[in-house]
Amino acid sequence: MWPPKLSNFIHLLFLFSLFQLPAFAIKKCYIVYLGSHAHGSQVTEEYLDRVTDSHYDFLGSFLGSKEIAKESIIYSYTRHINGFAAQLDEEEAAEIAKNPKVVSVFLNRGRKLQTTHSWEFMLQKINNKVIPNSLWDKARFGEDTIIANLDTGVWPESQSFSDKGFGAVSSKWKGGCVNDHGHNAVTCNRKLIGARYFNKGYLAYAKSINYSVAGVPNSARDLDGHGTHTLSTAGGNFVPGASVLGVGNGTASGGSPLARVASYKVCWPPINGSECFDADIMKAFDMAIHDGVNVLSISLGGDPVDYFEDGLAIGAFHAVQNNIVVICSAGNSGPDPGTVSNVSPWMITVGASTLDRQFQASVQLGNGLNLMGTSLSKGLPENKLYPLMSAGDAALPGVAVEDALLCKSKSLDPKKVKGKILACLRGETARVAKGEESLLAGAVGMILCNDKLSGNEIIADAHVLPASQINYTDGVAVFAYISSTKDPKGYITSPKAVLGTKPAPFMAAFSSRGPNTITPEVLKPDITAPGVNIIAAYSEAVSPTGEPFDKRTIPFNVESGTSMSCPHVSGVVGLLKTLYPSWSTAAIRSAIMTTARTKDNTGKPMLDASYLESTPFSHGAGHIRPNRAMDPGLVYDLTINEYLDFLCALGYNQTLIAAFADDHECPKNAMNIYDFNYPSISIANLSVTTGSSVTVTRRVKNVGAAGTYAARLIRPDGVTLSVEPNVLKFENVGEEKSFKVTLKAKGRAAGIRILKAKKKRVPKRYVFGGINWSDGKHYVRTPIAVGLEF
């Protein structure tokens, strides 16, 4: 027994020592990216094991032992991507990043997930028959091209993945179905030739925040619906008689219906709004390249970051190195400028626009107004006018009128709502969730009125009660009518599919906009395609709304988003890969971009959902035209070395570039970033005050017949534009010619649209123009964006 005073002193020392002990550092999943592998594709498993072992050795030198490194590493990237994902604390990650062998170290970042008639609209079929000599006809419906996606998995039982009539799979295919045993296993066939899942990055993130993921199966099976929808849009087989709850009946198919398809599941139930994590995405890229896919469709993304800290950009680069075309969604953060994601120049970035089909559900008002809306829900049971009220007038005591108007959870008073049609305002909460709240409160129907930002964009949903969504102008009319009478009444009809609606296409309000905030000198998005109210296959493990209260299941569903427009372009790419197997990924992108259209079916310029004329920051080069893309005349081609020189010009050092791509050496005289041979031109800033000018160089390759192309210029407001030479003569296929484009600010221009900048690198004023090269048959269009500084 210690003496009392000494005992107290020792006790105090012990307590003091507790406060001095260092806190346990929080471990998070980091990706340590070491560049590319120098080995070829033909390597043994023993060799790959040695690569993994080298990763253990490397990490062990920082953590103290190889055994600790083995426990830390969750993935070793061994085939085409060189690196690993490991649980590290911040100090360990920072120390590893200093090593000269390391290209980058970055957190395992989370990302979000971003048809019957759509292919008729794009391919211009006549009476549901394929036009002779169309891209579908010439490319044999994408026969034997392998299209894969990184998404939420696949519902293999869908008729879209039937292999009836398909022959044996090529021996070049190295993939397969990988599942844990159980009722969620996925069986492959001669159509769906591959299915893998990757979730260690997802699980690592869940563990780091003590989030339970119990019950999430280790399987490539799609329990969400998103992956099945996107994969079938790109490469689903023909399915006659497809509809959604009896609406929109027709033959569903993907863009390349005779392609083989494969699914790489990297997206899981959301945690803090993120479903897909970089560690899993990079592993999926590494395996997809190894397996032998030709096209990768990726309908997910997040805020753009530096290229070497972006797992999707890194994976896409390695895919392009292996002549795999990568197509990505632009994001659903529109209509604000500077919101476009997936901006690396080696991928195709796709915005979303509408079709000329609507699922019309009319809203009839007691004053005689008949308003055209859209829906997939049933109409009201009796053909009569029902009491109608604004949701803002139905607020529970203590609830803000604004919250009730938005039909937020637990905001509506059943005593006021019961038996009435409720007019709710779009915004903040899910469209179908507003319908659920209305139903729970006792409403017999819902009119969903667009807010001003959503404008003309109306989306068909399988609501749980009779409902119709109407545009902003019509919504204003509904609320005005309700305010004008003591006894407002209304009616909602059952939906029906109507074709030939005008104007179409126009840009979806949700589609993310440029400019590119990482490299403003590269115009993004590249292209737009149908992404609103798209019918495609769906998982029967989930309801059409995806909401817990909805217990229905259906084999086909309508979805909207750039997630839906992305696989439309992927399907076209599959056709072009079948038709031109030797074309580079850049040539295919160029063919799609330079043949796009910027007018709608009224012959006028495409509009935004807000009724203003859309710009290249929303539609890129324009709306995709598959039949024109198969004969572009000229293409802007790029080699892998040119992509690397582009990175050199951005200031990445030689050591990083050499690790990134097999000892590539940056040129002594760095290229002018504006001379990067992209199919569009984006000038970050021209000073109106000084009248500054920029000259850029472009190079085009003849992929058609001999001919002479003349340039027609569309000058941006306030900018002089000239091309030298303005005539290009080609005598042989494969011949390349260069030209220079000079742009000069000529003074303050009237009518220039002002974009309110949300990010420092977004200039306040942009103007737009273009160059059209034509030989009388081909029209090679190059959009131009110019940032003017005043």
Name, in order, each residue with C-beta under 8 angstroms of 669's C-beta and a sequence gap of 6 or more. none
563 has catalytic annotation: yes
Contact (Cβ atoms closer than 8 angstroms) between residue 142 and residue 575: yes
How many of the other CB atoms lie within 10 Å of CB of 485?
12
Residue 318, Cβ density class (10 Å: 0-12 exposed, 13-18 middle, ≥19 buried):
buried
Which of the following is catalytic: 55, 118, 151, 286?
151
80, amino acid identity: H
386, amino acid identity: Y
Tokens for 733, please give them.
Answer: 């296929």
Measure the CA–CA gap between 274 and 302, rounded to whole angstroms.
9
Contact (Cβ atoms closer than 8 angstroms) between residue 434 and residue 406: yes
Tokens for 695, please give them.
Answer: 């000259």
For 536, list phi and psi in degrees, rounded to 5: -160, 175
15, amino acid identity: L
Which of the following is catalytic: 37, 117, 226, 664?
226
280 has catalytic annotation: no
Measure the CA–CA gap between 318 and 515, rounded to whole angstroms.
25
Measure the CA–CA gap between 55 and 446, rounded to whole angstroms.
58
Contact (Cβ atoms closer than 8 angstroms) between residue 261 and residue 148: yes
Local structure of 228: helix, strand or coil: helix
**Site of tokens 């009248």:** 691
Would you give the distance in Å from CA 642 to the centre of its chain?
Answer: 25
Measure the CA–CA gap between 787 and 770, rounded to whole angstroms.
14
Question: Residue 151 to residues 199, 260, 282, 386, 538: CA-CA distances in angstroms?
Answer: 12, 17, 13, 43, 13
Measure the CA–CA gap between 583 and 574, rounded to whole angstroms.
12
How many of the other CB atoms lie within 10 Å of CB of 744?
16
183 has catalytic annotation: no
Measure the CA–CA gap between 237 and 218, rounded to whole angstroms.
27
Local structure of 773: helix, strand or coil: strand
Measure the CA–CA gap between 471 and 477, rounded to whole angstroms.
10
Would you give the distance in Å from CA 123 to the centre of its chain?
Answer: 22
Nearest of 121, 99, 108, 98 to residue 77 by alpha carbon:
108
Local structure of 249: helix, strand or coil: strand
Tokens for 784, please give them.
Answer: 């131009």
Q: Give the angle 223-226-231 at the CA atoms, nearest 5°.
A: 110
Which of the following is catalytic: 72, 158, 454, 563?
563
Residues annotated as catalytic are 151, 226, 563
